[in-house]
Amino acid sequence: MTDFENIYNEYFHDVYKYMLSLCQNETMAEEVTQTTFCKAMEGMNNFKGNCSHFVWLCQIAKNTYFTLYKKQKRDVSTSELDASLVALPNFENEYIDSETSKRLHQLLHELNEPYKEIFMLRVFGELPYSQIGELFGKTESWARLIFYRAKKELWRRLNEHKL
């Protein structure tokens, strides 16, 4: 097996989950992930080793997605995100109706960065804190803290909205 085959086998699923957390569309996530690995294979000689292969691949994936997003001028609607709401810990039992689901997604999109992206990576992308921290050049503890703060803020805003 070549080095690139090893990289592909090791990281394909994680890069796919990362893309799915960003675009919330399985078909697009698959397409962007495939394109990412094609670009990575073509540019393997450009990999300087300043970061892990995973971080490098996620950067390529993110740039590919945003380029595609701009070309299509695609607006991710709340209805596309509803299906993924069941993955939300501590929210699924109390907030099942579609109106609350819609509100939760609106609130999520109102969160400042990096809270919004980290919440989406953790909940929708199901990435471990260690990989999230690595993506941001931070520690696993930092990723946990930011996720906790994002979750706490969403919870606060949801409860504020109910009152």
Angle (CA) 112 113 115, round 5°: 85
Does the pLDDT of residue 87 top 70, yes or no? no
Q: Where are the alpha helices (DSSP H) in the chain?
A: 3-23, 26-42, 53-72, 78-82, 98-110, 115-123, 129-135, 140-162
Query: Residue 10: its pLDDT value, please?
Result: 86
Query: Which CATH code is given to the segment(s) 3-72?
Result: 1.10.1740.10
Query: Residue 28: its pLDDT value, please?
Result: 83
Closest CA to 121 of 91, 87, 73: 87
Look over the chain and give the mean of its residue pLDDT values, rounded to a whole number: 75
The CATH architecture one would assign to domain 78-162 is: Orthogonal Bundle (1.10)
Which carries the bigger pLDDT value, residue 120 or residue 88?
A: 120
For 85, residues 6+ apart whose C-beta sits below 8 A from its C-beta are 91, 92, 101, 104, 105
Does the pLDDT of residue 103 top 70, yes or no? yes
List the domain boundaries for the chain: 3-72, 78-162
Residue whose entry in the numeric block shows the structure tokens 């691949």: 57
Q: Which amino acid is at 91?
A: F
Report d(CA 79, CA 98) in Å as an integer.
Answer: 9
Does the pLDDT of residue 91 top 50, yes or no? no
27-33, long-range: CB within 8 Å, 24+ apart, which pairs? 28/65, 28/68, 31/68, 32/61, 32/64, 32/65, 32/68, 33/61
pLDDT interval class at 154 (50, 70, 90):
confident
